[in-house]
A and B are shown apart, each in its own frame.
Chain A
Amino acid sequence: METIVFSLLNGVIYGLLLFMLSSGLTLIFSMMGVLNFAHASFYMLGAYFAYTISEASSFWVALIFAPILVGLVGALVEKYGLRTVHVNGHVAELLFTFGLAYLIDEVVKIIWGRNAVDYKVPELLDFPLFELFGAQYPAYRIFTLFVALAMLAGLWFILNRTRAGLIIQAALSHPHMVGHLGHNVPRIFMTVFGVGCALAGLAGVIGGNYLVTDPAMGVQMGPIVFVVVVVGGLGSLMGAFLAAMILGLLQTFAVAIDARFADIFGWLGLDATSELGSITIASLAPMIPFLMLVLVLMIRPRGLLGDREL
């Protein structure tokens, strides 16, 4: 029972963090076709900006301004980098962001040093909220949950209830048609890219102190973001949300399972002392996303809720 409750809670929170991280990429990818390799680097930038701002003033200021700064950086990258490469096609764009990820990592190391920085949870939220079966639950995690839900609600509202959102929605599914209708597509692209990066930055502000803020945090999160976007499906925020949740829950539940391969495939004659037989499901948990990525692309290339194939 307690395993289920905990796994549920942790899975949901981890899933929400993943969603915050990848929602921006879903927007960017659906609209511009750019699978931004540097997306997780913007997440890292968010955490570092938040660290610097919260050193100077407070966490709450950082919560608002760090994502905006990251968004500005993203918009600049789109305007002066991606747009130049755009004419050479999607592969060139992807490679550009691939190189950009290298660059951001190195620059972060130069500016903030190569060790972890002391980016702390704000004191206001630094207490155990409640205790469940002997383990404490930090208040900050629940705060994370609310920020993610607020973000989801905000995004939903903007996309479905405002004019700008409707144009973006249209551009998500029919980018060319929107251009034909006379909208300034390059500017929409720049805005969407900036907003997408800002969302990653917000995830960084929240995730940087919940996890660790160091120059490797971008690289670590990099591939898993793609998994969420691809599994969720092109053009669907709901899909990304669903995928992030499934990934979060699957991973946390798998950790709780101690079964070995030998216990499951024992009837095939697999020995518990053999190399294959002694592998536990729990030890495979972090690999599940990549297994899902490969399987989804093979079986259902449009993802869970995608409206078109990649």
Chain B
Amino acid sequence: MSNIATDTMISLSPSGSQKFMQRTVPLIIFAVILAVIPVFGPSRTMYSLLNAMGVNIVFAMSYNMLLGRAGLLSFGHAVYFGLGGYAAVHAMGAIEAASYGDGGFWAGYPVFFLPFIGFAGGALAGAVIGWPSCRRAGTPFAMISLGVAELISAAGFMFGSIFGGEEGISGDRMNGPEMFGLSLGPINEVYWFIAFWTFIGVLGIYAFTRTPLGKMSEATRDNPERAEFVGYDPQKVRYLVFIFAGGFAGLAGGMSAVNYEIFTPEALSLAPSGMVLLMAYIGGIRYFAGPILGAILLTYMQSMMSDYSEAWLLYLGLLFIVIVMFAPGGLAGIFGGLFRGLRGDNPAASLRQWAVQITGIVLMMISLVTLIEMSVNWSNNYGEVFEPFGMHLPHDGVLTWAVIFIPFVAGVGILRKALKNKEGQA
């Protein structure tokens, strides 16, 4: 089989050092970041936010196994998160009962490893529900996921013995054998638990993308006919990916069960399913790290932004639409583009271009935020007025409308010009 071609062929596969730089180093950096955070002595608020972020990172990554990697748009991913979490919280109850009762298997099971139970629960749910759902991709899949999510979340309120009714099922994480000397009582100890499992979750999902199955899922996304031609049944590939995605969602559910010590049926509903879709997409579904960014940003917005504006949902919707319309690569795509521009042939030019674009965007944001905040205050009718930086901006003030219109027009002008320049260069 030796011919001339082999001698002159350029190897396209990355070299050993490239592999290390591109694959191992980011993971090490991620682990170091997770390990270093407690050195800064975060407050309780910070810790509980970090814990929520950890859970959402794994959840959003598992979602992206479907949307980003396999091209399956799901409106019911929270079902697997929830069912995995319920499995874990029931196991937590069993551990508590066993350690005060007659022992048995659960008495020796550490709470620290509950996410395994979550994984099993989520994967099992994925295996059962996935079989009918995965027969087709595209819109039928999305619609089935929607229907299933509606059915399961309605069942969540009906079957009190499994889901605990409205108040859900709660447990106590300070039972059973301790692992790594963590009692899991104080929130900073829970952080180590979350950090550990966030890393395991990200590592596991990364490892999955490197398996033949992970590669095939991308192939069936891009061209199912061709994948079938090569001898893989797309339906089977989707089904297997679905089970794993369910499993990792369940893992996140298990983390959440330990973190909050409670699980309620609303965790299965359409709202968290929509939220995880937003996280993954805003972060960037075409990038492995995208959902991590999205999860961090949206968790922060959800818990902190409501302190500053009750219109945070409106901002969230706007952010999502802007990303869908103008930056389909999400945040990761934006950062990636920035990074490439800086490393490219002409960093100064791209930096200038970015500066112009950012100026335009900031101007438009000033205008939009003013409009929204002014309207919200006017609509509430409590007599409150939007007063940023000591300016007084009532809905009938000339200044208000000046602050809305002038930056908007300027911003649009700048962005249009920037776009034209770009096209001119290209």
Instruction: Output the nearest chain A residue to B71 by Cβ-Cβ distance.
Output: A91
A220 to B252, CA, bound (A): 29
With known contacts A100-B321, A106-B317, A223-B150, A294–B144 Cβ distance under 8 A: yes
The answer to whether B144 and A95 have CB atoms under 8 Å apart is no
CB under 8 Å from chain B, chain A span 254-310: 275-276, 279, 283, 286-287, 290-291, 293-294, 297-298, 301, 309-310
Set of chain A residues within 8 Å of B316, measured between Cβ atoms: 102
Residue B236 CB within 8 A of the other chain: no
Contact partner of B313 among A98, A106, A226, CB < 8 A?
Answer: A106
Residue A113 CB within 8 A of the other chain: yes
The answer to whether A90 and B138 have CB atoms under 8 Å apart is yes
Set of chain B residues within 8 Å of A99, measured between Cβ atoms: 317, 320-321, 324
Residue B151 CB within 8 A of the other chain: yes
Set of chain A residues within 8 Å of B277, measured between Cβ atoms: 95, 98
Binds B, one of A53-61, A81-89, A136-144, A236-244: A81-89
A81 to B316, CA, bound (A): 17
The answer to whether B158 and A297 have CB atoms under 8 Å apart is no
The smallest beta-carbon distance between B174 and chain A, in angstroms, is 31
**Interface size in chain B (residues, C-beta < 8 A):** 42
The answer to whether A293 and B140 have CB atoms under 8 Å apart is no
**Interface size in chain A (residues, C-beta < 8 A):** 42
The answer to whether A226 and B146 have CB atoms under 8 Å apart is yes
Instruction: Output the nearest chain B residue to A37 by Cβ-Cβ distance.
Output: B75
The answer to whether A103 and B311 have CB atoms under 8 Å apart is no
Residue A210 CB within 8 A of the other chain: no
The answer to whether B274 and A98 have CB atoms under 8 Å apart is yes
Residue A4 CB within 8 A of the other chain: no
Residue B376 CB within 8 A of the other chain: yes
A45-72 CB mask vs B (1 if < 8 Å, else 0) is 0000000000000000000000000000
Contact partner of B328 among A92, A103, A275, CB < 8 A?
Answer: A92
A63 to B408, CA, bound (A): 36
Contact partner of B325 among A84, A102, A109, A226, CB < 8 A?
Answer: A84
Residue B37 CB within 8 A of the other chain: no
Residue B302 CB within 8 A of the other chain: no
A297 to B147, CA, bound (A): 10
Set of chain B residues within 8 Å of A125, measured between Cβ atoms: none
Residue B132 CB within 8 A of the other chain: yes
The answer to whether B317 and A297 have CB atoms under 8 Å apart is no
The answer to whether B151 and A287 have CB atoms under 8 Å apart is yes
The smallest beta-carbon distance between B88 and chain A, in angstroms, is 22
A50 to B324, CA, bound (A): 31
With known contacts A102-B313, A102-B317, A106-B313, A94–B142 Cβ distance under 8 A: yes
With known contacts A103-B321, A226-B146, A297–B140 Cβ distance under 8 A: yes
A20-50 CB mask vs B (1 if < 8 Å, else 0) is 0000000000000101000000000000000
Instruction: Output the nearest chain B residue to A112 by Cβ-Cβ distance.
Output: B379
A135 to B97, CA, bound (A): 55
The answer to whether A92 and B324 have CB atoms under 8 Å apart is yes
Contact partner of A301 among B140, B146, B311, CB < 8 A?
Answer: B140
Contact partner of B379 among A111, A286, A297, CB < 8 A?
Answer: A111
Residue A230 CB within 8 A of the other chain: yes
Residue A110 CB within 8 A of the other chain: yes
A-B contact pairs, 17 of them (CB 8 A): A91-B71, A95-B277, A95-B281, A99-B317, A102-B313, A106-B311, A110-B376, A223-B150, A275-B159, A279-B158, A287-B150, A290-B146, A294-B132, A294-B148, A298-B132, A298-B135, A310-B138
Among all A-B residue pairs, the 3 with the closest Cβ atoms: A102-B317, A293-B147, A106-B314
**Interface residues, chain B, CB within 8 Å of chain A?**
67, 71, 73, 132, 135-136, 138-140, 142-144, 146-148, 150-151, 154, 158-161, 270, 274, 277, 281, 311, 313-314, 316-318, 320-321, 324-326, 328, 372, 375-376, 379
